[in-house]
Amino acid sequence: MGIATINPATGATVQVFEELTDAALEEKLAKATQVLAHYRQTTLSQRAAWLHEAARVLENNKQAYGQLMTLEMGKPLAAAIAEVEKSAWVCRFYADQGAEFLADVPARTDASRSFVRYQPLGCILAVMPWNFPFWQVFRFAAPALMAGNVGLLKHASNVPQCALAIEEVFHKAGLPDGAFQTLLIGAGRIADLVADDRIQAATLTGSEPAGASLAAACGRQIKKTVLELGGTDPFIVMPSADLETAIATAATARMLNNGQSCIAAKRFIVHEAIAEAFEVGLRDRFAALQVGDPMLPEVTVGPLATPSIVVELEQQVHACLAQGAKALIGGDIAALKAQLPAALQGGNWFPPTILTQIPPGTPADQEEFFGPVALVFRVASLEQAIQLANSTPLGLGASGWSQDPAEQERMIQDLEAGAVFINGLVKSDPRLPFGGIKRSGYGRELGREGILEFVNVKTVWVK
């Protein structure tokens, strides 16, 4: 249907949007270029003030923005409101820390004075996904705007109202008109946009094919990219772990965002000595989940964002079952739908599911399961756990559970991932860099490293 709000809980089309014409797109590019000349010269204190105001706008409207997210992509309302609050946090973080991150860095050389200065690259294109429609954008926008860049947002086509609302946030915060603009265009127009000389760099969060496509388009133009792509994140549990806490965190980690998160734990790699207890505990947690209308406060799992995600996930689960895996719970869409009200029958539903006894050679070996499906594997040692964890082409995040310092250090050192969390839930945090390795992408968002991705690291030598 193109660019449209389609309620994933019901399947009903709420609103359809027209794509920007070529003339309208040109107008937005011209406006971005025009405002850049002024915006890059504004003071850091002024940019910080605008970001603080953006945080206030977000918090003052968190209920409305949360409902918009839930309407467009289906996450439970409480999680959507928390996402707005986290978006406000990243604005405040860069408002408070940006001047320090961007300060000149002196260097001792044979010059009278030498230092490194960080200056904005210019107009940055952000191609963003639907699963965290506010957070993904703000974690790019806050550091990019603080550094003096201007932003153009090509958001996912199923969250157009979120995309327009984010532009409105920055407008209400007082940023110059054109400093941050939403582009309602389809994916097919990205390559031509990247080829425009007025775009200096691009960032994408999304699938591997989308990342490869953007990187190729930018490569032809010799333009900088940052990519945050998929993950098959391992969650390793050893016998020394606090098992009760590990199980509770495992359920939370897998059901985050209805299971649609790149950094959600997906493969639960459990030592055989505690595997049965872990599986029973996780099954009980999944059984207690409330699936339904995500606008209701008691609901903990909503629909998947699009029908195609349901189709792909069902194919992956059925392939595993056909090859010998066992469903400890879930896996039956028809049974779940039979329990839902008639008004929700047209929605994109998938039951919380746990697969065990998964043989080699199934999609669980290499593919990302983007929904509420936990894959449980038993291992005999930490050595086997790390080998299995590293056996996929992706490397975004990893979680390890052990009270043994030697085991902890081994996981920190040997797990192939952009982030390793010991005895905790893998999550993004403005204070820490975020990103992956291998086919999970390259570059970093957040932290000091994130604000330096889209700057000219200029060497200055004065005699």
Judgement on whether residues 339 and 378 belong to the same structural domain of the protein: yes
Contact 12, 6 (CB under 8 A): yes
Judgement on whether residues 370 and 421 belong to the same structural domain of the protein: yes
Q: Average of pLDDT values for 171-183? A: 98
* Segment 48-59, tens digit of pLDDT: 999 999 999 999
Specify if 162 maps to a domain.
yes
Q: Could you tell me the two tokens for 40?
A: 């890059």
Specify if 290 maps to a domain.
yes
Specify if 435 maps to a domain.
no
Judgement on whether residues 132 and 246 belong to the same structural domain of the protein: no
Contact 119, 451 (CB under 8 A): no
| Residue bearing tokens 């930490």 | 382
Q: Could you tell me the two tokens for 171?
A: 């407008």
Percentage of the chain with pLDDT > 90? 100
Judgement on whether residues 126 and 255 belong to the same structural domain of the protein: no
pLDDT band at 1 (very low <50, low <70, confident <90, very high): low
Total structural domains in the chain?
2
Structure confidence at residue 313 (pLDDT) = 98
Judgement on whether residues 17 and 65 belong to the same structural domain of the protein: yes
Structure confidence at residue 414 (pLDDT) = 98
pLDDT band at 203 (very low <50, low <70, confident <90, very high): very high
Judgement on whether residues 200 and 293 belong to the same structural domain of the protein: no
* Segment 73-97, tens digit of pLDDT: 999 999 999 999 999 999 999 999 9
Judgement on whether residues 270 and 223 belong to the same structural domain of the protein: no
Look at residues 206, 173, 170, 224 and name the one whose alpha carbon lies nearest to residue 32.
Answer: 170
Nearby residues of 49 by Cβ (< 8 Å), 6 or more positions away = 95
* Segment 217-231, tens digit of pLDDT: 999 999 999 999 999
Q: Is 233 left (phi over 0), alpha (psi -120 to 50) or beta?
A: beta
Q: What are the CA-CA distances from residue 303 to residues 372, 388, 459 (Å)? A: 10, 30, 51
Q: Could you tell me the two tokens for 1?
A: 């249907």
Q: What are the CA-CA distances from residue 401 to residues 41, 270, 388, 411 (Å)? A: 48, 10, 15, 9
DSSP letter string, 101-148: HTS-EE--SSSSEEEEEEEE--EEEEE--SSSTTHHHHHHHHHHHHTT
Judgement on whether residues 202 and 260 belong to the same structural domain of the protein: no
Q: Average of pLDDT values for 1-16? A: 95
Q: Average of pLDDT values for 24-43? A: 98
Contact 267, 232 (CB under 8 A): yes
* Segment 357-396, tens digit of pLDDT: 999 999 999 999 999 999 999 999 999 999 999 999 999 9
Q: Which of 72, 228, 312, 407 is catalytic?
A: 228
Q: In 10 A of CB 311, how many CB atoms?
A: 12
Helix (H, G, I), strand (E, B) or coil at 236: strand
CATH code for the domain in which residue 382 is found: 3.40.309.10
Nearby residues of 249 by Cβ (< 8 Å), 6 or more positions away = 399, 424, 425
N-to-C CA span, the chain: 62
Does 444 have pLDDT greater than 90? yes
pTM of the model: 0.97
* Segment 283-332, tens digit of pLDDT: 999 999 999 999 999 999 999 999 999 999 999 999 999 999 999 999 99
pLDDT band at 253 (very low <50, low <70, confident <90, very high): very high
CATH code for the domain in which residue 101 is found: 3.40.605.10
Active-site residue flag, 262: yes
Contact 236, 424 (CB under 8 A): no
Judgement on whether residues 194 and 331 belong to the same structural domain of the protein: no
Mean pLDDT (the chain) is 98
Instruction: Identify the domain containing residue 372 by its residue range.
Output: 234-429
From the centroid of its chain, how far is CA 353? 22
* Segment 321-343, tens digit of pLDDT: 999 999 999 999 999 999 999 99
Judgement on whether residues 66 and 88 belong to the same structural domain of the protein: yes
Could you tell me how many helices (H) and strands (E) the chain has, helices first?
A: 15, 20
Rg (C-alpha) for the chain, rounded Å, is 23
User: How many angstroms separate the CA atoms of 134 and 125, rounded?
Assistant: 16
User: What is the rounded (10 degree) CA torsion for 304, 167, 222, 462?
Assistant: -130
Helix (H, G, I), strand (E, B) or coil at 377: strand
Does 150 have pLDDT greater than 80? yes
Residue type, 103: A
Q: Average of pLDDT values for 403-409? A: 98
Q: Which of 91, 123, 162, 262 is catalytic?
A: 262
Q: What is the DSSP letter of 175?
A: P
Judgement on whether residues 160 and 249 belong to the same structural domain of the protein: no
- CA angle (451, 453, 456) in 5-degree steps: 100
Specify if 55 maps to a domain.
yes
Q: Nearest 5°: phi and psi at 268? A: -100, 110
Judgement on whether residues 337 and 264 belong to the same structural domain of the protein: yes
Specify if 304 maps to a domain.
yes
Strand partners, 397: 419
